[in-house]
Amino acid sequence: MSNLNKLDFSALEVSGRNYLKWVQDVKLYLTAKGIRATIETPIADELVDEAQKATVMIFIRRHIHDALQTEYLAEEDPRTLWLALVDRFDHQKDIYLPEARHDWQHIRFQDFKFVNEYNSEICRIRSLLKFCKVELTKSDLLEKTYSTFHATNIVL
Is the pTM above the cut of 0.75?
Answer: no
Higher pLDDT, 93 or 151: 93
Return the bridge partners of 23, or none. Answer: none
pLDDT digits (tens, 9 = 90+) for 23-46: 999 999 999 998 998 998 877 666
pLDDT above 90: residue 151: no
pLDDT above 50: residue 15: yes
pLDDT digits (tens, 9 = 90+) for 63-81: 999 999 999 999 999 999 9
The number of beta carbons lying within 10 Å of the beta carbon of residue 82 is 21
Q: Which of 144, 95, 104, 94 is nearest to 127 (CA)?
A: 104
Question: Is residue 77 packed enough to be buried (19+ CB in 10 Å), middle (13-18) or exposed (0-12)?
Answer: middle
